[in-house]
Homo-oligomer: A and B are copies of this chain.
Amino acid sequence: MYSGVMSTPDRLIEATRDLLWERGYVGTSPKAIQRLAGAGQGSMYHHFQGKQELALAAIVRTAALLREAADQALTGPGTAYGRIEAYLTREREVLRGCPVGRLTTDPDVMADARLRAPVDETLGWLRGRIAEIVQEGVDAGEFGPDTVPDEIAATVVATVQGGYVLARASGSAAPFDAAVRGLLALLAPPPGRAPARRPSPPA
């Protein structure tokens, strides 16, 4: 149940976001949404056409928030390596998994173009944004000249998404953290090359 300051539509969307994250689309019933939102049957169908439209609103909102949080870690000062490190080590509810990536296992979401689009766009944007940063790192000499930014970006995002899987399987955040540390060790410029962790201070 949510604080009384939210409107009924907002409470319905928040309830749907939580349930989609925890149980997925197939496992989330209108009744469960109504219960969690503290809204009645008639109320829900007054504000939304049905489960599908409500899920769309929830997914769009979740995608926007994820993108915002990721961008905050990725944009800002620091070396390319440092910003990728910031993204990889930002605070996460690891055992809950990724609220967007999770939807890729939901057949009813993937079969519906409107529900699927925000998922595709969010992860696509994330790979693109990280690839830009890797390219900056190549230009700055942090990463070797043979580095392929799109590939490294895919590896970075996959490590995070897969880290969630390992964490949930084991019931512990440890494998997620291990995967991130392993990736950072592989990414770290060899000592002696270029700005290792911090950009050289202005002269």
Binding site for B on A (CB under 8 A): 22-24, 26-27, 97-98, 101-102, 104-108, 110, 116, 119-120, 123-124, 127, 146-148, 150-166, 168-171, 175-176, 178-183, 185-187, 190
Decide if B165 touches A163 in the complex (CB within 8 Å).
Answer: no
- The one of B124, B154, B164, B171 in contact with A179, judged by C-beta atoms closer than 8 angstroms, is B154
Where chain A touches its partner, the secondary structure class is helix
List chain B residues, Cβ under 8 A from A124.
169-170
Complex copy number for this chain: 2
Are B151 and A158 in touch, CB under 8 angstroms? no
Residues of chain B within 8 A of A182, CB atoms compared: 148, 151-156
Which of B105, B157, B158, B186 makes the CB contact (< 8 A) with A187? B186
Bound-state Cα–Cα, A40 to B23, Å: 29
Contacts of A106 in B (CB 8 A): 24, 27
Given the known inter-chain contacts A159-B162, A162-B160, please indicate yes or no for A169 contacting B104, CB distance below 8 A: yes
Query: How far is B192's CA from A8's CA once the two chains are assembled, in angstroms?
Result: 65
- Provide 11 A-B residue pairs closer than 8 Å at the C-beta atoms, listed in order of the A residue: A26-B26, A110-B168, A148-B182, A153-B182, A154-B175, A155-B186, A157-B162, A158-B162, A158-B165, A161-B161, A186-B187
CB A170 to nearest CB in B, in angstroms, measures: 6
Tell me whether A22 and B107 are in contact (CB under 8 A). Answer: yes
Whether A166 and B127, one on each chain, are in contact in the complex, defined by CB atoms closer than 8 angstroms, is yes
Pick from B102, B154, B166: contact of A166, CB under 8 Å: B154
**A161 touches which one: B162, B185, B190 (CB < 8 A)?**
B162
In the complex, A153→B124 CA distance in Å?
26
